[in-house]
Structure 1
Amino acid sequence: MFEKMSKKEMEKELEKDQKQETKLSKEEKKTAIKELKEARAEEFKSRTKKQHIMVALFYLAVFAIMLTYDELLLRFVFSKKIEVRNLTFLVFIPAEAAFFATIAGFGKKGTAARIIFPIESFIISAYYIGQVLFYHNSQSIFSLALLGMGGAAIGNFGWALPNAFRKSLVFMILMLIPFILSVVFSVKKKPDKIKGYSLLVHLFAFISVIVLWVGGIGALRLGGTGRTSVYRLFFNTLADTDTTYGRLGALTTNVVELGAKFFGIGGNSAEDIVEIDKNALSLDDSSTTSENKTSKNSVSEDTAVEVVREPWVNEDIDFDKVLASVESDDEKKLIEYYSTKEPTCTNEMTGYFEGYNLIYICGESFWTYACNEEVTPTLYKMAHNGIVLNNYYNSFKNTTTNGEYAFNTSMWPDVSRIANNGTDVGSFAQSASKFMPQGLGDLTLQDKNTTTLAFHNYYGKYYRRILSWPNLGYQCKFMGSGMTFTTTWPSSDLEMMQQSIPDYINSDEPFYAYYMTFSGHGPYTSTNNIYRKNIDYVKNTLGPNTDITEETAVGYLACNTELDKAMEYLLDELEKADKLDNTVIVIAGDHYPYYLSTEGRDQLAGYTMDENFDIYKSTCIIYNAGMSEPMEVDTYCSNVDILPTILNLFNIEHDSRLMAGTDIFDNRDGVIHRAALYNMSFITDKCKYNGSTGEATWTEEAQRQYTPDKRDAYVEAMVSDLTNDYVAATQSIELNVFKDIWYYSGMLTEEELLAEEERENNVLTQDEEFNAQDAEEKLRKEQEKAAKQAAEEAAAAAAAAAQNAENQMADPNNQTTDPQNPPADVITD
């Protein structure tokens, strides 16, 4: 037959035969698949209950292995080691695996099961990959509370993801292995292993989730129920996310958060406030009662005056009247707590800076090692002069709004794992719709009749500062609202100073200004605008023989060079206006610079740092150029202690009972001074207590002087006292207690009360509008991204088609035929 055909006809006939064979093979394949499905359905019906249970147990075992594998990998990412004491997360793996097993295994013919299984595997892998990326971006585990930040935050931090992606790549690949294997086994290797099981067994599997979860809790109880036990941690709603993760694992932590956020399970309560054994706090030893007996606070004889010990209280507050007027038990408990709390008192340093100007700065990621004698000489000079706090610790590991809130209000923010249930992220944002009478701006206005100006070189809508700052009595300017900048994220601190200083420098009265800086924000790599601006200067200044060579360490100095320039400019302008000597500049960081790598951090410090305490030891600048010599203070303190200290130095009226912090110069016997961290860790002149592990490390002197029972009682009392401060601060915001205190004490008239309630409602309305705008912005960005991707794909397809046409014109005999889109002259019957 082929002898009488032309070459072209022969090719067409051969192609026809091939298509016929393909058609037959497709039909055969369909028949085979149909027969296989029927066989599987028949096998499903013929199985015994025990066999169905064995299929469910297969899924349970596979998911348990998957979850354990990912949790262990995540622990290695977080701490570079796996500790036996932190393997308690394993008690909840069966319940979590049973949950995934319940979702798997649907369908009699196995098709649905082979689709669901790899999807679940992908979700698990994606979850843990997300945790790794988040850790490399923020040095913390992802908390469901952060969902309240919305799309704006994701967009703002998105530019830092490439750096996090690079650091996470190896672990991302390792975490994808279970998903890849699930696809292989579902499709190619062992498809018969991935099959469904009966609905009755699914029901039992669902019940087993609850039983195994309760069993996990019971297993924790076997390990003890004391203050430092994992059992106590599981139920302690005050515990932060990182501490909970350390003992219970990522998935369990987020499950607990899920219950709180969406179902209201758990919650802080004023009932968590407990009685304190004051004798235990002083170790019941009169010779060492004061935390500052061993302190070397260097108050010079020239500054010493006759000491008048008057309590810092608002005498208009009538706690008895308030207590008789409020109705809820939680409010009553808070009022009782505040009314019995020991206030701080006036002391040798009261009014030391009275009548001076104040510039109060919360520095983005500001840390001790931002003050480099060669690279940032102005910061270094300010840090080593004025009042020098030798034992200042920054309480927070990350999240700007927490450190900023503590610095501005002397109140603890809610950092617990159930924080922000259905609200904006952070206590600062939430405080916008509450009555806040003791913000720095409010107090300066009430006592000094002076308005405090506030400036930030980013948008006011972010973290809702545009709502919360005015509520503290500030008059505000932000990026796009009174100030413009050459770069957006991050922007220049120097440019902010240049635009804001004219607003107050020529004032005839003492001025008060607050700043939230931005240039120190990470990542400290070439993706950062401020890094690129200053990196050459830093490298040239450090020189070729420097020990600081790691990218993020050098980058951190580059970013803080901008703050150094801003401070240099500020000092110059104050000097030109003849106001430098009577101006006090306070600078404290919002949190540890978590974008630093471990190597970079240790290079800056010059030694291997301990992550439990060393990284939190920081610098708080209280600089006044008019002081003839530095005043060194050894009192242990942290963020919440700065505001009451400054208020005392400036002799500004306030009620210290309503603050969590303590004036560092109040050295009376029985006054508690400590550096407290976000996870209930603390440092005093007697010991360091690790809130994550429950372990206390004592000084040699304390070990010799006090019995183990006294030391244990001291830690117990200190933790309880710190917990009381934390609960009181967070509950006061949630219940809007200060409004009731002011109103029932007669400090708010009916008209003022109505005006405040109207303001609070307006804030909530505006916040809802902002949330809607954020959602629209997120949608717009997603649409733009999709449109851009579609345009790129269309351009690529057009380019490919043009190239194909060009190839065909160049060689007409070498044409490729797409079997799915054959040329018109090919017979396809």
Structure 2
Amino acid sequence: MTYSDGTNSGFSRRNHYVGQPAVKVGSSNFDYYRKPEKSHGFAKRVAFFAYFPLLILWLETDLKIASGFDVLGGFAFTFLFTIVLSAVLVLLCSFSKRRGVNRGIATVLTAVLTIWYGVQMIYYNVFGTMVVVSSVTNGGAGQAFNSIDMIMTAITSRIVFVVLLFVPLAFFIIFGGKLFDFSKVKLKGKLIVLLIAVAFQIGTVLAVGIDRDSSDTKSNYNLYYGELQQVAVCERYGLYTMQRLDISRLMFGYKANIRTNSKPKNKESTADEITKTEQKAQIMSADFSKLTKSTNNDELKSLYEYFDSEEPSYTNEYTGMFKGYNIIFITAESFSQYAIDKDLTPTLWKMYNEGFQFENYYSPAWGVSTTDGEYANLTGLIPKSGVWSFSKSAENNVSFPFTLGEQSRKLGYKTVNAYHNHTYDYYDRDKYLTNIGYDYSAIGKGLDLGENVWPNSDLKMMQKTVDDYINSDSFSVYYMTVSGHGGYSYNTMSERNADLVKDLKYSDEVKGYLAANIELDKAMEYLLARLEKAGKLDNTLICLTDDHYPYSLDEFDGVSELAGHKVDATFEQYKNAWLLWSGSMKKPVKVNTYCSSLDILPTISNMLGLEYDSRMLAGTDVFGNKEPFIVFADRSWISQNGKYNASTGEYTAFKGAKGKDDIDELNNRCNNLFTVSRMILDNNVYAEAFGDTHVTGK
């Protein structure tokens, strides 16, 4: 018998719901029909569209909390700027007709984002900055994580936040199939999604531009359109936006205007002194007016006009004090004033207490760890954000005529060498140290220390290299040490000198730091003894400073432990020691002037009687006529009258300050120093100004 519904089963008729299509279950004559489930397709599709914005917001928030950033202050911008990325990710997961393929793509994208944010979290925890594209393409991020112990220590210290990063991935794998619709999106739907995302992007960019006339270095406009401040942009706009800006500037270049009303002032009464003593301006032959007229590059025009309007430094009582001396410049890994101790490090103590005592010296930490510290020390310029500045300079054959390597070669020094007791091509040192005039030796390139340990011994490096130059009529030598490298619980030099610090009332990590620097002191003791034996101690100038403060102690609050109080992370953390000494000095010289690592090159150049143009460096001669001005990576600054915290906008005047700072003017000056330094690197400006005078080593 056949029923009106077309079936031949009485069971089916009794279970057939009127007005609804039957849902067949079973395969025999006893098939039955059940009521169909209510469709949730639209809700699942909306849920999937919301998934990626919420995922990225979760990752950004977790990263910010783990890094100590202000979450609420940049919450809206962070969310709005990620909408375009979220839209693109959603559409990437909606191209296939097969839902399983789309779900697989979404899972992979979720995993990639999670891992990348995790890498950034750990990297920032260790180095205080973010991984940028150039660090990945150059292999620097991998080089930075040179020890599994360092990685594990960083992960352990942030384990809760690392686990939280993976919560969305686990959630998606378990519940994604039930909660989301992975169907292919039609072309019309794709266009609507993209148009909505673009509209949000345009609106957000317009909102950023509201305060474009502000001199505040942390204004929305300056953070987005100014010289890239990696950490500050990440805090305000999120990691994704910071990396988008970084990539766009690498691909398409970047231009910024030099702001007006930012000329540095001279110290009080200096003008009268200059007139009385007929001191000479520290300038060279560059004709900036002619250069301005000869270029069609608007950025270069503004730079030449800036140089032309700059007040130069003048010669002073220290000009030529060490003229004709041999030169030994040492950048000591993670060195600090806390490593100077009469009993533990007597040679370092001797050099500081018998030499120039820079009591207000600061060594700002820049974006790329050690190599950026070297760049500031050796060139007197601020490293460019987002790239390895020294590596880029070598790649583009950029000339640095004021560096001691190039100057020494032009002056006819018989030996111009550089040494490093680690892998020769680490951070591309084999390229950039030869590019500034040095003949370079390191592990794997002419230097064999006779042992394979981490880190290598500074003492052994001295013992293996001093004979290369000690008998030369004149020498200019550069050392980059490594014994003080972080990870003091597994630092071989810390272990080697452990007995000398075992009774100190410090934590094990701090003891390890001091023990590692004892190896540096032994190296200096050996060096001074050899110079004295060769009769070269009294005509050799030795300069020693750090590449960066010992940031690997941050996780243990070690710097505060050494200081005996909680150290301010904006300013005091970067206060350091600059040792400038010669055996010919009869008495120490106390220097109260505020100064930084950018001031080393112009100061030494003046004391050696070298020709340089003081208008074309970010640093200034400490003993010159310009007012001191220290800038930090986050655009905070210190003047002779006070200090400005760029993160809070708070200015603090020094007690007894004679003058009052114009904050807007000094903010402009701070921004200009970053812009000018970048322009010099990007445009090989010294070669443009002075012609092809570039000399290199091998």
Could you say which residue in structure 1 is the equivalent of 2:151? Answer: 161
Structure 1 residue 579 displacement after superposition: 2.8
Structure 1 residue 167 displacement after superposition: 2.3
Q: State yes or no: 1:143 paired with 2:132.
A: yes
Aligned partners of 1:406 and 1:639 also within 8 Å: yes
The structure having more radius of gyration, on CA atoms, is 1
Structure 1 residue 616 displacement after superposition: 0.8
Could you say which residue in structure 1 is the equivalent of 2:663? Answer: 715
CA–CA distance in structure 2, aligned partners of residues 580 and 367 of structure 1: 24
Aligned partners of 2:91 and 2:185 also within 8 Å: no
Q: State yes or no: 1:695 paired with 2:650.
A: yes
Equivalent residue for 2:465, pick from 497, 500, 506: 500
Equivalent residue for 2:195, pick from 191, 207, 219: 207
Could you say which residue in structure 1 is the equivalent of 2:418? Answer: 454
Equivalent residue for 2:401, pick from 432, 437, 441: 437
Quick one: which amino acid aligns to residue 408 of structure 1? L
Change (3 A) 1:473 1:203: same
CA–CA distance in structure 2, aligned partners of residues 698 and 510 of structure 1: 46
1:513 match: secondary structure: strand
Structure 1 residue 638 displacement after superposition: 0.9
Could you say which residue in structure 2 is the equivalent of 1:776? Answer: none
Aligned partners of 1:552 and 1:595 also within 8 Å: no
Q: TM-score, normalised by structure 1?
A: 0.73
Q: State yes or no: 1:402 paired with 2:372.
A: yes
Mapping of residues 66-81 of structure 1, within 5 Å: 66-79=55-68
CA–CA distance in structure 1, aligned partners of residues 557 and 141 of structure 2: 31
Mapping of residues 444-483 of structure 1, within 5 Å: 444-447=408-411, 449-483=413-447
2:423 match: secondary structure: coil
1:457 match: secondary structure: strand
CA–CA distance in structure 2, aligned partners of residues 221 and 654 of structure 1: 40
Could you say which residue in structure 2 is the equivalent of 1:774? Answer: none
Could you say which residue in structure 2 is the equivalent of 1:612? Answer: 570
Mapping of residues 345-424 of structure 1, within 5 Å: 345-397=314-366, 399-415=369-385, 419-420=386-387
Change (3 A) 1:131 1:673: same
Tell which deviates more after alignment, 155-164 or 173-182. 155-164
Aligned partners of 1:55 and 1:196 also within 8 Å: no
Quick one: which amino acid aligns to residue 364 of structure 1? E
CA–CA distance in structure 2, aligned partners of residues 58 and 258 of structure 1: 31
2:652 match: secondary structure: strand
Structure 1 residue 622 displacement after superposition: 0.7
Change (3 A) 1:330 1:114: closer
Could you say which residue in structure 2 is the equivalent of 1:251? Answer: 240
Structure 1 residue 249 displacement after superposition: 1.7
CA–CA distance in structure 1, aligned partners of residues 310 and 640 of structure 2: 23
CA–CA distance in structure 1, aligned partners of residues 141 and 49 of structure 2: 39
CA–CA distance in structure 2, aligned partners of residues 631 and 582 of structure 1: 18
Tell which deviates more after alignment, 249-258 or 97-106. 97-106
Q: State yes or no: 1:568 paired with 2:525.
A: yes
Could you say which residue in structure 2 is the equivalent of 1:312? Answer: 282
Structure 1 residue 84 displacement after superposition: 3.6
Structure 1 residue 598 displacement after superposition: 4.5
CA–CA distance in structure 1, aligned partners of residues 47 and 86 of structure 2: 11
Tell which deviates more after alignment, 54-63 or 684-693. 54-63
Structure 1 residue 192 displacement after superposition: 5.1
Equivalent residue for 1:290, pick from 267, 276, 282: 267
Aligned partners of 2:71 and 2:235 also within 8 Å: no
Change (3 A) 1:705 1:368: closer
Q: State yes or no: 1:675 paired with 2:630.
A: yes
CA–CA distance in structure 1, aligned partners of residues 284 and 210 of structure 2: 49
Quick one: which amino acid aligns to residue 456 of structure 1? H
The structure with more helix, counted as a fraction of residues: 1
**Deviations 1:202-237 (CA, angstroms, capped at 9, x unpaired):** 332233222222232234456776233542134334
Change (3 A) 1:69 1:321: closer
1:689 match: secondary structure: strand
Aligned partners of 1:413 and 1:428 also within 8 Å: no
Equivalent residue for 1:641, pick from 596, 599, 613: 599
Equivalent residue for 1:537, pick from 470, 492, 500: 500
Quick one: which amino acid aligns to residue 491 of structure 1? N
Aligned partners of 1:99 and 1:209 also within 8 Å: no
How many residues align? The count is 654
Structure 1 residue 693 displacement after superposition: 4.2
CA–CA distance in structure 2, aligned partners of residues 437 and 232 of structure 1: 35
Equivalent residue for 1:267, pick from 246, 254, 270: 254
Quick one: which amino acid aligns to residue 68 of structure 1? L
Aligned partners of 1:233 and 1:244 also within 8 Å: no
Quick one: which amino acid aligns to residue 696 of structure 1? Y
CA–CA distance in structure 2, aligned partners of residues 680 and 109 of structure 1: 51
Quick one: which amino acid aligns to residue 275 of structure 1? T
Structure 1 residue 635 displacement after superposition: 0.9
CA–CA distance in structure 1, aligned partners of residues 318 and 345 of structure 2: 30
Change (3 A) 1:59 1:292: farther
CA–CA distance in structure 2, aligned partners of residues 151 and 325 of structure 1: 39
**Deviations 1:408-453 (CA, angstroms, capped at 9, x unpaired):** 12122212xxx33xxxx22454245123322212223334655432
Change (3 A) 1:465 1:111: closer
Q: State yes or no: 1:100 paired with 2:89.
A: yes
Aligned partners of 1:223 and 1:231 also within 8 Å: yes
1:360 match: secondary structure: strand
Structure 1 residue 664 displacement after superposition: 0.5
Quick one: which amino acid aligns to residue 544 of structure 2? I
Aligned partners of 1:230 and 1:247 also within 8 Å: no
Change (3 A) 1:83 1:109: closer
CA–CA distance in structure 1, aligned partners of residues 134 and 157 of structure 2: 25
2:304 match: secondary structure: helix
**Deviations 1:680-723 (CA, angstroms, capped at 9, x unpaired):** 22111212122344432233556x975xxxx4xx2222222233
CA–CA distance in structure 1, aligned partners of residues 574 and 52 of structure 2: 38
Q: TM-score, normalised by structure 2?
A: 0.85
Quick one: which amino acid aligns to residue 516 of structure 1? M
Could you say which residue in structure 2 is the equivalent of 1:655? Answer: 613
Change (3 A) 1:210 1:693: farther
Structure 1 residue 308 displacement after superposition: 4.3
Aligned partners of 1:454 and 1:476 also within 8 Å: yes
Quick one: which amino acid aligns to residue 467 of structure 2? P
Change (3 A) 1:182 1:133: same
Change (3 A) 1:497 1:82: same
Change (3 A) 1:324 1:141: closer
Could you say which residue in structure 1 is the equivalent of 2:7? Answer: none
Q: State yes or no: 1:331 paired with 2:300.
A: yes
Quick one: which amino acid aligns to residue 499 of structure 1? K
CA–CA distance in structure 2, aligned partners of residues 212 and 643 of structure 1: 48
**Deviations 1:256-275 (CA, angstroms, capped at 9, x unpaired):** 2233334x2x6134xx1232
Quick one: which amino acid aligns to residue 114 of structure 2? S
Change (3 A) 1:181 1:374: farther
Quick one: which amino acid aligns to residue 345 of structure 2? T
Could you say which residue in structure 2 is the equivalent of 1:621? Answer: 579
Gaps of 5+ in 2: 1-24, 28-35, 271-275
Q: State yes or no: 1:182 paired with 2:172.
A: yes
| Percent of aligned positions that are identical | 30
Aligned partners of 1:139 and 1:595 also within 8 Å: no
Structure 1 residue 252 displacement after superposition: 2.0
Aligned partners of 2:416 and 2:439 also within 8 Å: yes
Change (3 A) 1:428 1:686: farther
Q: State yes or no: 1:131 paired with 2:114.
A: no
Equivalent residue for 1:120, pick from 106, 109, 114: 109
CA–CA distance in structure 2, aligned partners of residues 59 and 29 of structure 1: 33
Tell which deviates more after alignment, 583-592 or 231-240. 231-240
Aligned partners of 2:380 and 2:619 also within 8 Å: yes
**Deviations 1:44-80 (CA, angstroms, capped at 9, x unpaired):** 9xx6xxx3xx44431243333332332222122212x
Structure 1 residue 474 displacement after superposition: 1.8
Change (3 A) 1:342 1:321: same
CA–CA distance in structure 2, aligned partners of residues 411 and 176 of structure 1: 41
Aligned partners of 2:628 and 2:639 also within 8 Å: yes
Structure 1 residue 277 displacement after superposition: 5.1
